[in-house]
Amino acid sequence: MCDNLPSDEIFGFEGPEKKLEIDFKHSKHASLSHVHQDEWQRMLDEAKCTIISTMKNEHCTCFVLSESSLFVYPFKVIIKTCGTTTLLKCIPVLLEIAKGLDLEVDFLWFSRKNLNFPEKQLFPHSCFEEETEYLNDHFHGKSYILGPKDRDHWYLYIADLSDKNNGFDKQHAAKTDITMEVLMHDMPVSVTQQFVRSEDFVDAKTTTRTSGIADLLPNSMIDDFAFDPCGYSMNGLLDEAYWTIHITPEQHCSFVSFETNFVFSSAEAYQKLLQKVIDTFRPGRVTTTLFADEAGELEHKTHYAFPEELDAPSGSHYELLNKTYTEFEGKCGYNLTLCNYVLRPSAEGER
């Protein structure tokens, strides 16, 4: 299904990202960690974006891009790109890189929220049918649309090529896999102006600290970048986990995305993080997702992570509009919870 066109003729930067994750079967003889940055840039050329900066620890190498982020683990690649990038065109080069290392695809998922300005997108991102067709040229997966079609919703494509009988894979698949995304629209000016360069601008690190972003997951390594004249991106590493934030501050199309694969101890911990993120950015509406494997759901009860209501300042609150829970077919054992919230101001409330 193609996204609905906006009701007016005003266009802006497309903040909501397209996201591609490919997991490869584990190997004792090869690792994506040894791929040179030039090869990753060659892949990103197909998406029409460039590497701005790099940060790494013993688990992951991450790149801030001109349009969002790239994360490289030994057997996993996660790419997020915004604007009018052509993310899926990265796939042939990524598969070529993997083939050179004798790595085989284990699991793939592509996702994105419905877009603000879908008519501005380029092939193969004109609509979800086109994206699905392009993905099916390389994989045999399943496509899903989650959430209400007339409101904020989410597109997802999954291809599960895993072999649960492979002993080496089974050993490494025991690690719990949970990814949380928070996608926010309609931030107040008092929030968005922090990410617009002015005479008071110092540097990206100052913005990260004063905006409250640094406090979301304390003790992280952070690589941040403030664009000129506006916009902000950051990657964080906390041991094996990554987290990332991207901000489009233009008032008529303001958007913030937050994402992490940090595994918390309980559903309540995810709820607390969601509240912290919302308190930091104070959006008018929120779409949040929690994508978990079978172990994550059984151990952490992730489908309980999102409450009926979230707090907001001055007696206002965020009301849950809808919740969608899906268990995906096949061997993967993954499930997803998606919720849409909207701010309900009190009579005297302020954002």
Give yes or no: 90 in active site. no
- Secondary structure of 184-219 in the HEC alphabet? EECCCHHHHHHHECCCCCCCHHHHHHHCCHHHCCCC
**DSSP sequence for 72-97:** EETTEEEEEE-TT--GGGGHHHHHHH
CA atoms within 13 A on the CB side of 236: 21
- Termini Cα distance of the chain: 34
Query: Residue 138 has what DSSP assignment?
Result: T
Choose the catalytic residue: 82, 90, 332, 339.
82
Active-site annotation holds for 68: yes
The one catalytic residue in 125, 185, 246, 300 is: 246
CB atoms within 10 A of CB 168: 12
> Two tokens at 68?
């969002």
Instruction: Determine whether 233 is an active site residue.
Output: yes
Closest by CA to 113, choosing from 4, 12, 8, 245, is: 4
Catalytic residue among 233, 254, 257, 316: 233
> What residues contact residue 36 under an 8 Å CB cut-off, 6+ apart?
none
Return the bridge partners of 238, or none: 241
Q: Is 14 among the residues known to form the active site?
A: yes
Q: Which of 14, 21, 67, 131 is catalytic?
A: 14
Q: Which of 21, 60, 62, 68 is catalytic?
A: 68
Catalytic residue IDs: 14, 17, 68, 82, 233, 246
